[in-house]
Structure 1
């Protein structure tokens, strides 16, 4: 049976307003009689987007008993914009009510510490479970299955009509386009994520400028597309390579007949512990050094695909989320999103969105390394020009190499296009609608094509002077946890109903602890298999962020050797302050009943 402790009433749902309710304001009492699953998310977060997808079957299975409510708790300033949130709810096909919580009021009331966090409330209005991270859909499903008969027998399960009201969507040729590449003198090819298509358009200045020439479906939110070099097309037998993001695959397209075939990935998202080569939200693809390079946003890594042998493998990164330079096997990324080849310097530029950084791969003494041009880490962002050491971006999703060797950046959440040249950042344009892709046009080096994602269009931007901006600097603000200098870190994990922790093949758990700044931790840093660890913090440093990454595996109890196994995982960034007499225990919920 599931472990139970004293019941806690679900706090009220407070925020700025509601989406997907037809203008109605909902209260916690409105969900009495149904199971309520609160999904605390923010639309920049790839793990949150994974959870949206993995919850869809649960929503469908328990449609008569369960209501899912998204609680949008923003990280970046732009995400607190209600217009931007409404666009994200449409873009990511969120088909349930969403509470807009820009001040993190409901986030704090439910003691959320991570994006994403799930909280299950029973039909009587009591919190019964909390989960951090992704991979918990099966646990939610199992727990509802255990509780539903109990509440039917008590007469407390009496669901009403769904409060979801779909928004009105205006038709357009492009819908949340993500990136564009030049196919030839007369055509562009666009990854049109909102339509789940790759679209061929008439190129600017061509006879059929802007006209849709071909639509190729069969994708699930494609975000990146690469044109196969002309000298390889006949040999490879296809014209395009597509990063099919929510399809978790790399696909090939033959334009003559519009056929699509899978090059890598089986459509299932990679999770820690998988024994097969799967992909996780590939965001972009480019050809460099005779390979296809893949920005694997879902695992915070860079992969390669050999188009001649079919071999696909992780090349750069550790799956730890953050900003750490050095040899590719040791580097950390955070949702690498767009790639751009710098032929002149033999570099691969990377828009590393969650660290608001622009980074690059290059050779150092014959080995591939990662270096950062602009950016400092997960929590610092803004809009600031000047020397690269001081400049700031806000969740950039696009990067391109211009004809003069400077680097153009789609500074997405600032609605701007920026430029890095000779160690200095300047702003070329502002007022754009979530620019997410850039195309430096060899045919016209005086113009940069900008993919405005929430504008559903491609805009030609003349390259010329700079724009003066009222800059700002921001550090992600979340409630600071006061702790003693010696603190016991406890990761709470309980296997879902019908499952157990299975250690037949080695330790089923893993815990990694680091900090910013590094000097914050005196003892207890590093990797281990115990989900409880004593950490000694340096009072002279005083405060900082604990970076905690935890995993736990569970398997079905009854199925023997054929038992289905699941991996639960989450990364936390917990702001802490060392205070004499403060709590000597820090508990983080990976997953389990309340």
Structure 2
């Protein structure tokens, strides 16, 4: 059965990975393969074939299930079969575009695609978590936003997911050039592991003559994108006293400043991906998101650089406040500002001289006392869930935006489709809208489009929140609505939007 097969394949894959990472199996590879290319007699050829077979990192594997069953193929001109890919190493990435862990895998895939351009083909299998993610056009926009350069299947009915016995996002399935299913690996942070495996599989099949290194090209969705002044802007900050807007022009890797009626004032950043400090024209970002304005200093969540940047609006200078430029791979407690790796900072807010940070990667809220040299976890155990209680035992699910009301701030937990309240005086976390404290992370899968009070209301992957005079305005993103929450009663009401995407006013 699929479940049992997936379990056994995973064990086999992990055992093979461990074996491949031992010193001997890698150090001698080049010498052995060089010898195997030497012309030989029939007897020697037979010995060589036997020797090659013994060195197959994934021997006696079953044929991989087909890729048919998806709704549509994207980022390519048409449907692709495993027969079409015979001779290539194939890596299937099972993902869903809402998921921060899936986002973290994409740079690893891009690295591997660049390193093995003629040997490896990555296929994205988009098996949606949320209803909104099943729509082909939404996946197309996600492909464009994430700058994905490999084919993607819309597996809206999870047909391919079930064929391969996948149980979690993200998961990687490896198929060798002969179409054999090698196994799968779940989670993020596996770049080096996959690189070592690919290196060995490619070397083996190149020596055997079963590797096809003919270049392949795909018709990418990026070609459909029109040139626009903004490109997938992520966050917006209004500075009413100075009549200006700060716009995270995320896919242009810059911050745009305009007047409240949209007239351009200035642009912060060169537009190139990077982490360079300096003046507005030379500084660089990597897909920035949330911002906070304190005096004349703009704080920026430089999300894909995993850094917090500052902008001196008087001197027009960009500096790095926190982060090493590398993603934190474990549940870091924090430390010195420039020595502590961060993990996808997404939104920022300041209360009483403390900068609070929605750290989407580890599902936490972090803090930095302005003027100090430290940054640390403020709330959240790091477990992905919707759990109320004291700061250290509470749980969040991909914190994505933050709004302030005095000593209290509100957070949208996008993966839990919930709005949370964090009281800095009481040191507690509660849920304002959506479910919480359900068994085994079930809150992560309780979503919908339903007005109501507190835990009776349903949202779908909200990404924005704003406080105003006793009410919250929530961007109920995957429902294509703006909703309000009366903070006296926790009543959630639809405010704007029909529930269908569009730009009508």
Q: Which residue does 1:484 correspond to in 2?
A: none
Q: Which residue does 1:292 correspond to in 2?
A: 355
Q: Does 1:194 align with 2:260?
A: no
Deviations 1:95-144 (A, max 9, x none): 11111110001111111100000011111111223110001111111011
Q: Which residue does 1:283 correspond to in 2?
A: 346
Measured in 1, the distance between the counterparts of 2:75 and 2:97 equals 16
Measured in 2, the distance between the counterparts of 1:285 and 1:389 equals 26
Measured in 2, the distance between the counterparts of 1:304 and 1:401 equals 20
- The CA deviation at 1:64 is 1.6
Q: Does 1:34 align with 2:34?
A: no
Deviations 1:47-87 (A, max 9, x none): 00000012221111111210111110100000011111111
Contact residue 348 and residue 356 of structure 2 kept, 8 A: yes
Q: Which residue does 2:75 correspond to in 1?
A: 20
Measured in 1, the distance between the counterparts of 2:138 and 2:367 equals 33
- The CA deviation at 1:258 is 3.6
Q: Which residue does 2:12 correspond to in 1?
A: none
Q: Which residue does 1:215 correspond to in 2?
A: 267
- The CA deviation at 1:4 is 4.2
Measured in 1, the distance between the counterparts of 2:402 and 2:453 equals 23
Contact residue 33 and residue 160 of structure 1 kept, 8 A: no
Q: How does 1:345-424 map to 2 (within 5 A)?
A: 346-363=407-424, 367-376=426-435, 377-403=443-469, 405-421=470-486, 422-424=489-491
Measured in 1, the distance between the counterparts of 2:327 and 2:459 equals 29
- Say which SS state the counterpart of residue 9 (structure 1) adopts: coil
- Say which SS state the counterpart of residue 8 (structure 1) adopts: coil
Q: Which residue does 1:507 correspond to in 2?
A: none
Measured in 1, the distance between the counterparts of 2:175 and 2:95 equals 17
Measured in 2, the distance between the counterparts of 1:215 and 1:196 equals 11
Contact residue 306 and residue 342 of structure 2 kept, 8 A: yes
- The CA deviation at 1:432 is 7.6
Q: Which residue does 2:230 correspond to in 1?
A: 174
Contact residue 34 and residue 160 of structure 1 kept, 8 A: no
- The CA deviation at 1:270 is 0.3
Measured in 1, the distance between the counterparts of 2:331 and 2:451 equals 43
- Say which SS state the counterpart of residue 381 (structure 1) adopts: coil
Deviations 1:172-228 (A, max 9, x none): 11211122112344311111212111110121xxxxx21222111211111101111
Q: Does 1:6 align with 2:60?
A: yes
What's the TM-score once normalised by structure 2's chain length?
Answer: 0.80
- Of 98, 117, 121, the residue aligned with 1:63 is 117
Higher helix share: 2
- Say which SS state the counterpart of residue 31 (structure 1) adopts: coil
Q: Which residue does 1:251 correspond to in 2?
A: 309
Unaligned runs of 5+ in 2: 1-18, 21-56, 270-283, 436-442
Measured in 1, the distance between the counterparts of 2:449 and 2:192 equals 41
- Say which SS state the counterpart of residue 312 (structure 1) adopts: strand
- Say which SS state the counterpart of residue 178 (structure 1) adopts: coil
Q: How does 1:309-324 map to 2 (within 5 A)?
A: 309-324=372-387
- The CA deviation at 1:260 is 1.6
Q: Which residue does 2:49 correspond to in 1?
A: none
Q: How does 1:226-241 map to 2 (within 5 A)?
A: 226-228=292-294, 230=295, 233=296, 239-241=297-299
Measured in 2, the distance between the counterparts of 1:386 and 1:354 equals 20
Cα root mean square deviation, aligned: 1.9
Contact residue 433 and residue 490 of structure 2 kept, 8 A: no
Contact residue 173 and residue 212 of structure 1 kept, 8 A: no
Unaligned runs of 5+ in 1: 204-208, 234-238, 435-453, 462-594
- Say which SS state the counterpart of residue 206 (structure 2) adopts: helix
What's the TM-score once normalised by structure 1's chain length?
Answer: 0.68
- The CA deviation at 1:302 is 0.3
Contact residue 96 and residue 164 of structure 1 kept, 8 A: yes
Higher strand share: 1
- Summarize the Cα distance change of 1:30–1:258 in structure 2 as closer, same or farther, 3 Å threshold: farther
Aligned length: 419
Runs of 4 or more off by more than 6 Å in structure 1?
none
- The CA deviation at 1:433 is 8.1
Q: Which residue does 1:437 correspond to in 2?
A: none
- The CA deviation at 1:273 is 7.0
- The CA deviation at 1:45 is 0.1
Measured in 2, the distance between the counterparts of 1:5 and 1:149 equals 15
- Of 142, 145, 164, the residue aligned with 1:88 is 142
